[in-house]
Amino acid sequence: MPLKTISDNYKLKQNNNMDKKIKNHLGIGALVSMVILATSSLIFANIYSKSIEPSSYRSFSVSGEGKVVAVPDVAQFSFSVITEGGKNIGDIQQENTQKANRAIALLKDSGIEDKDIKTASYSLQPRYQYFSCPVSKNSSAKPCPPPEIVGYTISQTVSVKIRDFEKIGEILSGVVQSGVNSVSELSFTIDDRTEIENQARQEAIAVAISKAESIAQAGNFNLGKILSINENSFPVFNQYKTLGIGGSEDFAVSAPVIEPGSQEVSIGVTISYEIR
């Protein structure tokens, strides 16, 4: 084969390879351009959507409150067993545990379920003896000895729920007689507030809608769509009573009469409307 023909074929092959590289580069460039265009479209759509958000509407807000009065179905209280002793922690723990177990056994015998008895806290604290080291004007100061541990105090607190209100007085009197040191924070609550809160919420929304319709009629405009609904719940202040220290003769002899009363569950809502 002539030398010139070989050279021409080589140049043709190089040109074909060059064309393929150019086409590949053009394809990549086109793909990058499409990605950039798609990204730009998304950014524009996001900006546009923000520009027509409810904040740009003519709007107004109304509020309403719903209240439901209900009788509590659970009584809650806590009792504590506090035991002081010397440096033998084992003996203190044994005494404390025995008293707490007696009280818990009484609760279970009275029909309180395990799920309604919970250890709220358990602590072991040292007790110190501090030394007084007065310094007179005529004598040089001497180092005062550090505080010395003379014993320990164990405190165990148990929280209890009572669902049968007829047994409240009997149980409170019984745990005191079992040897606990303190019975306190008797309160009444609603164990599951879901249904009551739903009723209060429906009432609050109805009040707010009625108010909005009245305002629209007075202002001679039409209500548009609801833009937002925000809810505010109000705390329920439970009744409670501190019952005092165990060992009182008067308290141990007669069971107290307990009345749960009632509770008011309140929920507020704020509704924003579009003005048409």
Q: Per-residue pLDDT tens for 175-197?
A: 998 889 989 888 898 888 889 99
Mean pLDDT (whole number) for 232-239: 63
Mean pLDDT (whole number) for 103-132: 93
- How confident is residue 7, by pLDDT bands cut at 50, 70 and 90? low
- How confident is residue 41, by pLDDT bands cut at 50, 70 and 90? low
**Residue-wise pLDDT tens digits, 143-155:** 788 889 999 999 9
- How confident is residue 44, by pLDDT bands cut at 50, 70 and 90? low
Q: What's the pLDDT at 163?
A: 93
Higher pLDDT, 261 or 31: 261
Q: Is the pLDDT of residue 249 over 50?
A: no
Q: What's the pLDDT at 19?
A: 56
CATH 3.40.50.300 fits 74-132+142-190+250-256, yes or no: no
Of 43-57, 96-110, 242-256, where does the model show the most confidence?
Answer: 96-110
**Residue-wise pLDDT tens digits, 202-228:** 999 999 999 999 999 998 999 999 999
Q: What's the pLDDT at 29?
A: 61
What percent of the chain clears pLDDT 70, i.e. is strictly above it?
68
User: 228, exposed or middle or buried, with CB in 10 Å at 0-12, 13-18, 19+?
Assistant: exposed
Q: What's the pLDDT at 22?
A: 57
